[in-house]
């Protein structure tokens, strides 16, 4: 129990400051913070649950099922080029925008409930942007997969997504938290940077969608531009958000030494440089910078060092710190493979393995590990349905990712001969099935968690996210 109830004076300071704090507090003992009232908070919580549910649906059906289907088709044709680029991009869009983007927007709106007061219009805006965002991502998937009126649907989808994001951006950036004014910390700058990366990504997406609709012969973005777009869609947005939130949360969750501000800001600057070079088409320089940024982030976050305090694993599986660290191993693998790919990729195998290490090993791996830690609390003080299912989903995901990354390069690039090459192609669909199982178990565990009643008050630890008073963004 003493582990469940952290130091009260420290917590009190945290609650008082209300600067994006992770406050694990016992609501029986703490003074409640002023809010606009339980009705608005509960409504924003419902909006959060809708965003989480929608994100899970996009991840499962348009995202993972299509990804598995694509990989099985590529494996049976023994070539990546045999598959429609529009289908590959439909899968990627559903995962990055439909899953990760929806989660981030939902959590951003929810953070307003932790900032002292919720403006009455925030609830309506949360639902308006949810409807526009969901419609935008769904239309993009339909356009790419069915080709039905794609010249209309493609730009329409991009406009819906941009409009949804602008509503979100305006709502959270104009919101002022009540409380003590504090300086903006390094981790906040990373989160702010990722938010601008998200905005830039949506603008780039809209431009490419209009160009494809006006002059293209398919809804797929041209390969050379898509390669640049993908670097922004990964390193320029979710990777930065994860580094930022990890800097805030990991010292508390894993008992790590607090991160180095200088190191984090250096990682952000070098990563931004890497993304800029990729957008300019210089992939050798870009991938080198992304590797340096990853090493800087790992060092600054202290994820490769021994913990100073025991990890907080109450209610979740105790393997949590191991899987968080494993994500950073995948990050380094992804950066290393992208350096190799920039020099030697012939058939998309090294780029594909690098992207998979990043999107599945790092991004999905992080959400699978940290989601069970924070999402039940965000969704109203619930308890994770099953720590064993958490272990199963994280283990299967990492196993599937290992199988995929190790077989994709020899198979696509034809680095092996005879039976060995055959075996590499045969492993690929197995990796897809293992990852599908991982995703299904994760979604099931989360859905069953959301259906649970709120936990008893003593366990109802709230993971507040709030923004610095007076900051214009987040
Ligand atoms: C069951 C899991 C998954 C499978 C089987 C899968 C399969 C694939 C396949 C076959 C490709 C085509 C390129 C290649 O062959 O390497 C691809 C591309 C891609 N995947 Fe996945 N994937 C999975 C999970 C994910 C996840 C979780 C994300 C993101 C969070 C993601 C994001 C992407 C992106 C962005 C692309 C590139 C799309 C483009 O070329 O525009 N994938 N995936």
In a domain, 234, yes or no: yes
In a domain, 471, yes or no: no
d(CA 376, CA 450): 7
Q: Domain of 258: which CATH number?
A: 1.20.210.10
In a domain, 255, yes or no: yes
Asked whether 70 lines ligand 1 (CB < 6 A), one says: yes
Asked whether 232 lines ligand 1 (CB < 6 A), one says: no
In a domain, 299, yes or no: yes
Give the pLDDT score at 293. 98
User: Ligand 1: which residue has its CA nearest to atom 19?
Assistant: 92
Nearest atom, ligand 1, residue 352 CA = 16
Give the pLDDT score at 394. 98
Å from CA of 91 to ligand 1 middle: 6
Nearest in space to 449 (alpha carbons), one of 379, 370, 397 = 379
**Torsion of Cα atoms, 213 then 216 then 217 then 219, to 10°:** -50
Å from CA of 120 to ligand 1 middle: 39
In a domain, 2, yes or no: no
Distance of alpha carbon 372 from the chain centroid: 14
In a domain, 239, yes or no: yes
Give the pLDDT score at 183. 77
In a domain, 4, yes or no: no
Give the pLDDT score at 36. 54
Is pTM beyond 0.75? Reply is yes
Structural domain count, the chain: 1
d(CA 450, CA 157): 29
In a domain, 34, yes or no: yes
d(CA 8, CA 22): 14
d(CA 52, CA 65): 18
User: Ligand 1: which residue has its CA nearest to atom 36?
Assistant: 92
Asked whether 360 lines ligand 1 (CB < 6 A), one says: yes
Sequence-distant (6+) residues with CB within 8 A of 113 are: 35, 40, 41, 44, 45
Q: Are 102 and 239 in contact (CB under 8 A)?
A: no
User: Ligand 1: which residue has its CA nearest to atom 13?
Assistant: 352
Terminal Cα distance for the chain, rounded: 34
Nearest atom, ligand 1, residue 233 CA = 35
**What pLDDT tens digit does each residue of the chain (474 aa) get?**
333 333 333 433 333 333 333 333 333 333 344 445 667 778 888 999 999 999 999 999 999 999 999 999 999 999 999 899 999 999 999 999 999 999 999 999 988 777 666 677 889 999 999 999 999 999 999 999 999 999 999 999 999 999 999 999 999 887 665 555 567 899 999 999 999 999 999 999 999 999 999 999 999 999 999 999 999 999 999 999 999 999 999 999 999 999 999 999 999 999 999 999 999 999 999 999 999 999 999 999 999 999 999 999 999 999 999 999 999 999 999 999 999 999 999 999 999 999 999 999 999 999 999 999 999 988 888 899 999 999 999 999 999 999 999 999 999 999 999 999 999 999 999 999 999 999 999 999 999 999 998 765 444 443 444 434 433 333
d(CA 284, CA 256): 34
Give the pLDDT score at 184. 86
Give the pLDDT score at 115. 66
**Torsion of Cα atoms, 207 then 208 then 213 then 217, to 10°:** 160
Instruction: For residue range 394-422, list pLDDT tens digits in order.
Output: 999 999 999 999 999 999 999 999 999 99
User: Which range marks the domain in which residue 265 is found?
Assistant: 15-459
Nearest in space to 72 (alpha carbons), one of 429, 430, 352, 426 = 429
Asked whether 331 lines ligand 1 (CB < 6 A), one says: no
User: Ligand 1: which residue has its CA nearest to atom 37?
Assistant: 92
DSSP-H helix ranges across 175-282: 186-215, 223-234, 238-254, 261-279
Give the pLDDT score at 119. 72
Tokens standing for residue 100: 């990760």
């Amino acid at each position: 129990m003493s582990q469940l109830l952290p130091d009260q004076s420290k917590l009190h300071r945290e609650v008082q400051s209300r600067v994006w704090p992770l406050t694990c507090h016992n609501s029986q003992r703490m003074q409640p913070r002023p809010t606009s009232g339980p009705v608005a908070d509960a409504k924003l919580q419902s909006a959060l649950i809708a965003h989480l549910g929608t994100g899970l649906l996009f991840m499962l059906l348009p995202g993972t099922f299509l990804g598995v289907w694509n990989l099985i088709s590529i494996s049976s044709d023994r070539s990546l080029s045999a598959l429609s680029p529009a289908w590959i991009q439909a899968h990627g869009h559903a995962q990055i925008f439909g899953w990760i983007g929806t989660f981030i927007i939902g959590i951003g709106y929810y953070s307003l409930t932790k900032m002292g007061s919720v403006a009455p219009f925030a609830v309506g805006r949360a639902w308006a942007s949810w409807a526009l965002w969901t419609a935008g991502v769904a239309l993009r998937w339909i356009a790419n997969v069915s080709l039905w009126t794609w010249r209309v649907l493609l730009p329409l989808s991009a406009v819906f997504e941009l409009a949804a994001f602008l509503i979100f951006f305006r709502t959270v950036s104009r919101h002022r938290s009540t409380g003590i004014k504090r300086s903006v910390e390094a981790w906040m700058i990373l989160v702010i940077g990722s938010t601008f990366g998200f905005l830039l990504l949506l603008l780039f997406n809209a431009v490419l969608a209009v160009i494809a609709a006006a002059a293209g012969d398919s809804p797929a973005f041209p390969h050379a531009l898509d390669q640049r777009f993908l670097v922004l869609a990964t390193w320029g947005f979710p990777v930065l958000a994860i580094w930022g939130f990890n800097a805030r949360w990991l010292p508390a969750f894993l008992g790590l030494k607090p991160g180095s501000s200088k190191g984090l800001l250096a990682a952000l600057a070098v990563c931004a440089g890497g993304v800029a070079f990729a957008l300019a088409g210089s992939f050798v320089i870009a991938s080198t910078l992304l590797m340096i940024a990853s090493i800087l982030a790992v060092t600054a976050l202290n994820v490769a060092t021994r913990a100073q305090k025991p990890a907080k694993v109450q209610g979740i599986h105790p393997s949590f710190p191991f899987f968080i660290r494993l994500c950073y191993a995948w990050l380094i693998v992804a950066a290393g493979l992208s350096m190799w790919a920039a020099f030697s990729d012939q058939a998309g195998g090294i780029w594909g393995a690098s992207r998979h290490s990043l999107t599945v090993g790092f991004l999905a791996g992080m959400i699978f590990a940290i989601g069970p830690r924070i999402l039940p609390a965000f969704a109203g003080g619930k308890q994770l349905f099953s720590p064993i299912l958490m272990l199963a989903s994280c283990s299967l995901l990492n196993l599937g990712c290992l199988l995929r990354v190790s077989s994709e390069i020899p198979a696509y690039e034809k680095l092996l001969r005879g039976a060995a090459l055959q075996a590499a192609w045969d492993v690929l669909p197995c990796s897809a099935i293992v990852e599908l199982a991982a995703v299904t178990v994760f979604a099931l565990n989360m859905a069953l968690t959301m259906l649970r009643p709120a936990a008893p008050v003593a366990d109802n630890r709230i993971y507040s996210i709030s923004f610095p008073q007076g900051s214009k963004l987040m």
